[in-house]
Chains A and B, each alone.
Chain A
């Protein structure tokens, strides 16, 4: 059975810290891995990764995929209170149209 596991489930850090969120997967016919940020409402798209070893960056956020070890990490440097959110990871496969979602990591940034 295909699955996506995120860790940790929750994390509390202080403003200015650097955090690393993990997403591991077991998905047949892997195609892509996507990261989303969910504040109070709609998940918003952050990154899509398809190739191993190529880092994607957007400001203080970056992400990388390891297709050999079947995981991805999302790094956030110099965290701010506005980074507080649930971060969701999803994996797409060649075999169907569905994304397989992890349960999310709840990140709380204390001032």
Chain B
């Protein structure tokens, strides 16, 4: 009963390096999301994909790109990492994004440190 799986769990990067965070869900959900969580702040939406083939910016998209590879997979890419991107990143999915009244199911997160 995997749910939402994120890889890697931990990563340390140097400023300027690039990397891709992977997310896959096995619940046949249509909508997927990427959040970041910083101390003392709520979850902030980076990008979301309401359905396969679509992606949209959230609250804090700068410095990130996403790819909805297929219905199961949604990746987040940092092209040139900056220390301000040090955070815990969560991927989530829901059955439908419409009207945002669907519970979202979360992965265990990726703890990313940028030196």
Residues of A within 8 A of B (CB): 4, 31-32, 34, 41-45, 48, 50, 88, 90, 92-94, 96-104
The number of A-B residue pairs with CB atoms under 8 Å apart is 61
- Is B43 a contact partner of A92 (Cβ separation < 8 A)? no
Chain B residues at the A interface, C-beta cutoff of 8 Å:
4, 31, 40-45, 48, 50, 56, 58-59, 90, 97-101, 103-109
Question: A97 near B40 (CB under 8 angstroms)?
Answer: no
A44 to B108 Cα, complex, angstroms:
10
Return B79 CB to nearest CB of chain A, in Å. Answer: 23
Determine the main DSSP class of A at the interface with B.
Answer: strand
Q: In the bound complex, do residue A4 and residue B42 qualify as a contact, i.e. CB atoms below 8 Å apart?
A: yes
Q: Give the shortest distance, in Å, between B53 (CB) and chain A (any CB).
A: 15
Task: Give Cα A48 to B100, complex, Å.
Answer: 11
